[in-house]
Amino acid sequence: MTDGSAHTWPIRVYYEDTDAGGVVYYANYLKFAERARTELLRCGGFDHTTLLQDNGVQIVVRNCTAEYILPARLDDALEVRSRITTMGGVSFTIRQEILRPATDETRANPLVVIEVRLACIDRDFKPARLPSALKAALGHTNAI
């Protein structure tokens, strides 16, 4: 998926996701992004439990930035588009856009743009190399 293609995951805004003003509470966008990243891994044939059991590693957030552009509201149907932008030996970066899908009348507008740097760690929480099978599943076999 580092070839420029994006993984897309649908999200629906529920009452529990909103704040007193009726818009999505800012921290919930991070939850939406986390779910989409988990599904991206799953799409590549990996899940967090299997990574730890079979490879002795975990993928954790090292750094995260978010730009909030437009609000989402109760019952909105959203998409999280995740694109891997860099891949290294022990870490990789994903750009995630949370948006309302385009309709006949409107184009897709990003609501939130999140940049997440993920790191691979071992059971002792020390940096570990990304498993080559995981890198291959994510579409990138050579470190950048």
**pLDDT (0 to 100) of residue 105:** 75
The span from the CA of 27 to the CA of 32, in Å, is 9
State pLDDT tens for residues 4-40. 578 999 999 999 999 999 999 999 999 999 999 999 9
**Active-site amino acid positions:** 19
Conformational region of residue 4, where left means phi above 0, alpha means psi within -120 to 50, and beta covers everything else: left
Please tell me whether the overall predicted TM-score, pTM, comes out greater than 0.75 for this model.
yes
The span from the CA of 47 to the CA of 111, in Å, is 27
Indicate whether 137 pLDDT > 90: no
Indicate whether 142 pLDDT > 70: no
Query: Domain residues of the chain, as ranges?
Result: 7-137
Fold of 7-137: Thiol Ester Dehydrase; Chain A (3.10.129)
Indicate whether 124 pLDDT > 60: yes
**pLDDT (0 to 100) of residue 101:** 86
The span from the CA of 27 to the CA of 30, in Å, is 5
Q: Which long-range contacts (CB under 8 A, 24 or more apart) does 11-16 make?
A: 11/35, 11/36, 11/77, 11/78, 11/79, 11/80, 11/98, 12/75, 12/76, 12/77, 12/78, 13/72, 13/73, 13/74, 13/75, 13/76, 13/77, 13/78, 14/74, 15/74
**pLDDT (0 to 100) of residue 143:** 33
CA within 13 Å, CB half, 77:
5
**pLDDT (0 to 100) of residue 4:** 55
Q: Which of 78, 67, 71 is nearest to 101 (CA)?
A: 78
Indicate whether 2 pLDDT > 80: no
Indicate whether 139 pLDDT > 90: no
State pLDDT tens for residues 65-114. 999 999 999 999 999 999 999 999 999 999 999 999 887 777 888 999 99
